Amino acid sequence: MASPKDVDLMTYEAILFDLDGVLTATARVHSACWKQMFDEFLRQHAQESGTPFVPFDRGADYLNYVDGKPRMEGVKSFLASRGIHLPFGAPEDPPDRRTVCGLGNRKNELFRQLLMVEGADVFEGSVVLARRLRQAGKKMAVVSSSKNCMAILEVAGITDLFDYFMDGNEAQRLHLAGKPQPDTFLKAAQMLGAAPRQTVVVEDAISGVQAGRAGNFGLVIGVDRHGAPQDLVDNGADVVVADLAEFL
C-alpha cells in the first residue's frame, strides 16, 4: 500500500469525491435514520411473526449492508441479511408502505427532517484539499448514491468546488448501476473529459473502493472513518488515510 507522501495528486487530470464520509460528516445522521426506520419495521415484523426483535446495528449492519449503496439497494441488502423478503414496490410508494421502496422513502423522510435541523458538517481537511485542487485547475466531481446530494452540498456551502454532480437522481435518469459497480464513476470521468487512468477516486465505503478498482481508475484513495483501514485496502484502495489533509 502506498503512503500519501508517495502520491502526487497534481499528476492526475480529475478527482471524483464521494460525499457522505468523505466531504461531509453526515454518515452519523444517515446511520441514525437507518436505525430508526429499520427498528420500527423490525419491531413490527417480530410481533407479527412471533420472532425475537433484533435491532439494527449502527456499526456492523450499516457498514456491511447500506453504507455507500443506493438507498433501495441498501434496504434490500439488509433485509436479505435477516432473511426477510418484501415486494420491491414503486419509487413513489408512501413511507408507511411495507415495500422496499416504502422503507427507503421512510428513511429518506427521516433524513431530510434531521438535515434541516442539524445541518451538514464538513470534514475540513477534505474541503481544504478540494479548494487547493480547484485552484490548481483540476476537474472535480461528486459521485454519490444519495438523492439528497445537492441538498447536502448546498447546506454545507461547497457546491462551487465541483464541475459535475453524479447523484442518485442522475444515476437513475441515466439508468446507471450504483456502487459497487463502477458505472457512476466512469460516467463522471467521461463528463469531465478525463480518462479513468488519469482520474482519482476518493471513497470511505467498501462498496466505493470496490467500484473504483472495478473501473480501473488511476488511483483509489480510501478514507478510513471507521477504524478499519485494511478493509479498504483489501477491497481496492491503493492508499488509505484517516483524513485527506494528509495530502496537503
**Which member of 6, 8, 20, 204 is catalytic?**
20
18 is catalytic: yes
Phi, psi of 140 (to 5 degrees): -140, 145
Q: Phi, psi at residue 96, to the nearest 5°?
A: -100, 5
Distance CA 55, CA 115 (A): 23
Give the position of cell 436479505.
80
SS (H, E, C) 62-93: HHHHHCCCCHHHHHHHHHHHCCCCCCCCCCCC
Pairing of strands 219-223, 239-241: parallel
Catalytic residue among 6, 8, 18, 183: 18
Output the nine-digit C-alpha cell for 36: 430508526
| 160-164: long-range pairs with CB below 8 Å, 24+ | 161/127, 161/130, 161/131, 161/134, 162/17, 163/139, 163/192, 164/188, 164/191, 164/192
Helix axes 183-192, 206-214, angle to 10 degrees: 60
The grid coordinates listed for 22 are: 468523505
CB 164 within 8 A of CB 113: no
Catalytic residues: 18, 20
